[in-house]
Amino acid sequence: MSKLDEAYDIEKFRDQGHQLIDQLADHLAATQKGDDKVVRYKESPDAELTRWQNYKFESLDLFFKDVLSSNMQVHHRRYIGHQVSAPAPVSALAGLLSEFANCGMGVYEMSAGGTAIERIVVQEFCKAVGYDMDSSDGVLTSGGTLANLTGLLAARADYLTKHPGKRPYILVSEQAHFCVDRGAMTMGLSNDQVVKIDTTEDYSIDIVQLENHINEIIKSGGHVLTVVACACTTSTGSYDDLEAIADICERHNIWMHVDGAHGGAAVFSKKYRSICAHIERADSIIIDAHKMMLTPALATAVLFKKKKNSYRTFAIEADYLFEKNDEEWYNLAKRTYETTKYMMCIKIYALFKHHGLELIEEYVTRQYDLARGYADYLNVQSDFEVAHKPMSNILCFRYAPQKSGDLNELNTIIRKQLLENGDFYIVQTVLNGNLYLRVTIMSPYTDMSDLIDLTEEIRKVGISTSF
Ligand SMILES: Cc1ncc(COP(=O)(O)O)c(C=O)c1O
DSSP string, 176-195: S-THHHHHHHHTT--GGGEE
Sorted by sequence, the CB contacts under 8 Å of residue 447 that are 6+ apart come out as 77, 370
Predicted local confidence at residue 43, as pLDDT: 83
Predicted local confidence at residue 323, as pLDDT: 55
**Would you put residue 195 in left (φ > 0), alpha (ψ -120 to 50) or beta?**
beta
The answer to whether the CB of 259 is under 6 A from ligand 1 is yes
Q: Whose CA is nearest to atom 9 of ligand 1?
A: 144
Report CA(58)–ligand 1 centroid distance (Å): 37
- Quote the pTM value: 0.97
DSSP label at 262? T
Reduced DSSP (H G I as helix, E B as strand, rest coil) percent helix, strand, coil of the chain, to 5:
50, 15, 40
Amino acid at position 158, single letter: D
Other C-beta atoms lying within 10 Å of the C-beta of residue 404: 15
Whole-number Å distance between alpha carbons of 263 and 392: 7
The answer to whether the CB of 261 is under 6 A from ligand 1 is yes
Report CA(145)–ligand 1 centroid distance (Å): 6
List of domains in the chain: 9-86+358-467 (3.90.1150.170), 103-356 (3.40.640.10)
Among 286, 288, 302, say which to mutate for ligand 1: greatest number of ligand atoms within 8 Å of CB. Answer: 288
Predicted local confidence at residue 237, as pLDDT: 98
Report CA(288)–ligand 1 centroid distance (Å): 8
Predicted local confidence at residue 325, as pLDDT: 57
CA geometry: angle 356, 361, 363, nearest 5 deg: 105
Which residues pair with residue 169 across a beta bridge? 224
Predicted local confidence at residue 145, as pLDDT: 98
Q: Whose CA is nearest to atom 4 of ligand 1?
A: 144
Whole-number Å distance between alpha carbons of 303 and 451: 36
Predicted local confidence at residue 248, as pLDDT: 98
The answer to whether the CB of 236 is under 6 A from ligand 1 is no
Whole-number Å distance between alpha carbons of 90 and 314: 33
Predicted local confidence at residue 327, as pLDDT: 79
Q: Whose CA is nearest to atom 8 of ligand 1?
A: 144
The answer to whether the CB of 177 is under 6 A from ligand 1 is yes
Predicted local confidence at residue 402, as pLDDT: 79
Which residues pair with residue 417 across a beta bridge? none
226 to 97, 136, 195: CA distances (angstroms): 38, 19, 11
Asked if residue 231 lies in contact with residue 263, where contact means CB atoms within 8 angstroms, the answer is: yes
pLDDT tens digit at each of 467 positions of the chain? 999 999 999 999 999 999 999 999 999 999 999 999 999 998 899 999 999 999 999 999 999 999 999 999 999 999 999 999 999 999 999 999 999 999 999 999 999 999 999 999 999 999 999 999 999 999 999 999 999 999 999 999 999 999 999 999 999 999 999 999 999 999 999 999 999 999 999 999 999 999 999 999 999 999 999 999 999 999 999 999 999 999 999 999 999 999 999 999 999 999 999 999 999 999 999 999 999 999 999 999 999 999 999 998 887 655 555 555 567 899 999 999 999 999 999 999 999 999 999 999 999 999 999 999 999 999 999 999 999 999 999 999 999 997 667 999 999 999 999 999 999 999 999 999 999 999 999 999 999 999 999 999 999 999 999 66
**Would you put residue 432 in left (φ > 0), alpha (ψ -120 to 50) or beta?**
left
Predicted local confidence at residue 318, as pLDDT: 56
Predicted local confidence at residue 320, as pLDDT: 56
Predicted local confidence at residue 404, as pLDDT: 67
The three-state secondary structure class of 431 is strand
Whole-number Å distance between alpha carbons of 239 and 231: 5
Among 152, 174, 175, 179, say which to mutate for ligand 1: greatest number of ligand atoms within 8 Å of CB. Answer: 179
Whole-number Å distance between alpha carbons of 462 and 460: 5
The answer to whether the CB of 145 is under 6 A from ligand 1 is yes
The answer to whether the CB of 288 is under 6 A from ligand 1 is yes
Whole-number Å distance between alpha carbons of 243 and 277: 7
DSSP label at 396? E
Q: What are the backbone dihedrals phi and psi of residue 294, each rounded to the nearest 5 degrees, phi first?
A: 55, 25
The answer to whether the CB of 331 is under 6 A from ligand 1 is no
